[in-house]
Structure 1
Amino acid sequence: MGNLLELYVKLVGLVLVGFILGRKLPSTVPTRLAQWLFWVGVPISIVSFLRQTDLSGQIWIAPAIAYLAILLGAFLAWLGIKGQTYLSNTIPQRPTQGSLLLAAMLGNTGYLGFPITLAMVGKEYFAWALFYDLLGSFPGAYALGVALGAHFGTNLQNHSQFTQVSRAIFINPALWSFGFGLIFRQIAIPDIWEFGLDKFAWSTVALSLVLIGMRLSKLNSLGNLPQVGISLGIKMLIVPLILGSTLPLFGLTGPAAKVIILQMAMPPAFASLVIAETFNLDRNLAVTTLAVGAMLLLLTLPIWLWLF
């Protein structure tokens, strides 16, 4: 409970700082900060944390579970769309269907999942979160997520944009730093360098939370609350409950299982909004799921820590 309260103070405090700064500073600041984190901060922090993590055990099962969570979320969202159509005799617009599917599938396992995992489980098991995100959530977002965006979108340039966005997965610096970090962890470096890397990595975590606050400050519209409830219920409640109950069957217990649960229970990713904007999906639905999901996490996080 003490760790959870400390996490809430840091989490809410840093996001609130970012929210205030996002309202005061020019709109270019969040963009610049996001670019710096993407190209510099996150890759270096991955290298640093990999030096302190335990890579033993069935760690490669983490991305497999991530794919299961993505596919189960998509399937349940599809059932929800069919159920809504049957009960109301109205078919949601295709862009709305696409945004609903993305919100139920894609979780914020990086910028939000990483700091929560580090705070609640520790650096020793951080690699489980890393494998879940970089080898699971990230390809899921920019492969299946982009394919769904192209399928449900109304953008006439879908094909060229599909190619452009898909190419991003191959130049993502986090993936390259992940591979480099696996090699670099075997190399001894002076203690002062190790100390500096560690402090830099934790500073990056803090800036990631500030960036989330900045982005939330730019979300001005809320709508489609019934459909938002469907997607968030699937993403943050049903999927973690179903798959979390099966983790012992995969041989996952203790801290490793807790990391997987935390990653599965994260609110929708900002990637869902990026894809929605790229392919002209329902942006209002994407915006609302991001904002409501971030607030709902404060209520659901203690539930998962208690249940598992």
Structure 2
Amino acid sequence: MQLLILYAQLIGLVSLGFFASSRIPQLSPHTLGQFLFWIGVPISIIAFLRQADLSGAIWIAPICAWIAILLGAGLAWGWIRLCGNREQGAGSSEQGKRAEGAGEAGGEKRATTNYPLPTTNYQLPTQGSFLLAAMVGNTGYIGFPVALAVVGTQYFGWTLFYDLLGSTLGSYGLGVVLAARFGKGKSDRTSLIQAILVNPALWSMGFGLLFRQVPLPAVAESILSSLGWSVVALSLVLIGMRLQHLKSWRNLPKAAVSLTIKMLIVPLVVGSVLTLCGFTGAPQLAIVLQMAMPPAFATLVIAEAYDLDRDLAVTALALGSASLLLTLPLWLWLFGV
């Protein structure tokens, strides 16, 4: 019932953004994305940190998170390179046929015209969104409720550490570096370091760890928590607004590949390795569930802020969120206790 309620809210808020977007100026999705990146996400991090229980031996969770992030990024980058090599190979074959035909038509005369080889259809902004979708999952806004419903509050700390020290840093640390590189072409080291240092989510995480020790009145605590969950709702509304502005579903094949890496291959590989290492039970299930989450809403927020491929980001988010209903029973069957 909790999962049904969760997805009813998800579908409802996405639908709200979808149908309301037609009456909102075209700039509104971009403006909302900028607001979430610079203000909304930091507030939610501070709010959820205050509710977290950080005790217990849960250091394995962030280690597994970074293994999953790097494995997903590596597989995604390998796929991009493979597609580029295939297209170059096809271009070389076509160029050879043209040269051969020209040679036959001209006798001893050989064609000297050089035909440029085609490049991969994964342009730089698309590569950035593709990598982000395959790297980090929605371990906060969807992962938390799923973990509570499946493994209970006893192992919620594993989920939290996976999110805070894995997905959060992966999204707004490594993810921002990649976004700055592929979205704005910043490849020099100084620019990449600057992209990390000015990232508001990382600063809010450090502030949140200190601020969680400061007692607040019950009313203020409730307001802060409500603000945090309001950011969740706005993120879902933003997805609906971007779905309204999708020109086509031409990115569906790319999104399907990134989701196969993110939601199937990575959890299966890392979960199997944990089993071989003797790490089983509810903690293993909690970790695997976080790996199997759909792409993080942060991928869309970052795509908005750094001008990546927004259509691919939204397609991956929408398709991934729907696919979770199909993949969740698989992980419960393979790794359930």
TM bin, normalised by shorter chain, reads 0.7 to 0.9
**Could you tell me how far 1:292 is from its partner in structure 2?**
3.6
CA distances 1:223-265 after superposition (whole Å, capped 9, x unpaired): 2654443332212211121112334549575267425532443
Percent identity between matched residues is 44
Matched, 1:246 2:308: no
**1:153 aligned residue:** none
- Written as runs of structure 1 = structure 2, the 5 A alignment for 1:60-139 is 60-80=59-79, 85=85, 89-90=89-90, 93-94=119-120, 96=122, 99=126, 103-104=130-131, 106=133, 109=136, 112-122=138-148, 124-125=156-157, 127-128=160-161, 129-139=163-173
Letter in 2 for 1:141: G
When the two chains are superposed, the root-mean-square deviation of aligned CA atoms in Å is: 3.7
Assess if the C-alpha contact under 8 Å between 2:130 and 2:258 holds in 1: yes
- Written as runs of structure 1 = structure 2, the 5 A alignment for 1:275-294 is 277=307, 288-294=315-321
- Unaligned 5+ residue runs, structure 1? 151-156
Assess if the C-alpha contact under 8 Å between 2:87 and 2:119 holds in 1: no
Letter in 2 for 1:90: A
Worse overlay, 249-258 or 219-228: 249-258
**Could you tell me how far 1:13 is from its partner in structure 2?**
0.9
**1:24 aligned residue:** 23
- Written as runs of structure 1 = structure 2, the 5 A alignment for 1:235-274 is 235-247=262-274, 249=277, 251=279, 253-254=281-282, 257-258=285-286, 261-267=289-295, 269-270=299-300, 273=303
Letter in 2 for 1:222: W
- Distance, in Å, in 2 between the alignment partners of 1:305 and 1:100 is 32
Count of matched residue pairs: 296
- Distance, in Å, in 1 between the alignment partners of 2:291 and 2:42 is 19
- Distance, in Å, in 1 between the alignment partners of 2:305 and 2:122 is 13
When residues 71 and 101 of structure 1 are mapped into structure 2, their CA distance, relative to the original with a 3 A threshold, is farther
- Distance, in Å, in 2 between the alignment partners of 1:101 and 1:250 is 36
SS of corresponding position for 1:189? coil
**Under a length normalisation based on structure 2, what TM-score does the superposition of the two structures give?**
0.71
CA distances 1:146-197 after superposition (whole Å, capped 9, x unpaired): 55x38xxxxxx83479865652321222211111111121222222222222
Worse overlay, 27-36 or 47-56: 27-36
When residues 36 and 115 of structure 1 are mapped into structure 2, their CA distance, relative to the original with a 3 A threshold, is same
**1:154 aligned residue:** none
Letter in 1 for 2:168: L
SS of corresponding position for 1:246? helix
**Could you tell me how far 1:15 is from its partner in structure 2?**
1.1
**1:143 aligned residue:** 177
Letter in 2 for 1:29: S
**Under a length normalisation based on structure 1, what TM-score does the superposition of the two structures give?**
0.77
Worse overlay, 4-13 or 189-198: 189-198
**2:215 aligned residue:** 188
Matched, 1:6 2:34: no
Assess if the C-alpha contact under 8 Å between 2:68 and 2:291 holds in 1: no
Assess if the C-alpha contact under 8 Å between 1:71 and 1:105 holds in 2: no
Q: Which has the larger radius of gyration?
A: 2
Matched, 1:50 2:49: yes
When residues 293 and 117 of structure 1 are mapped into structure 2, their CA distance, relative to the original with a 3 A threshold, is closer
- Distance, in Å, in 2 between the alignment partners of 1:140 and 1:40 is 20
- Distance, in Å, in 1 between the alignment partners of 2:38 and 2:78 is 38
- Distance, in Å, in 2 between the alignment partners of 1:60 and 1:204 is 28
When residues 120 and 158 of structure 1 are mapped into structure 2, their CA distance, relative to the original with a 3 A threshold, is closer
- Distance, in Å, in 2 between the alignment partners of 1:30 and 1:106 is 19
SS of corresponding position for 1:57? coil
Which residue of 235, 242, 245 corresponds with 1:215? Answer: 242
Assess if the C-alpha contact under 8 Å between 2:186 and 2:192 holds in 1: no
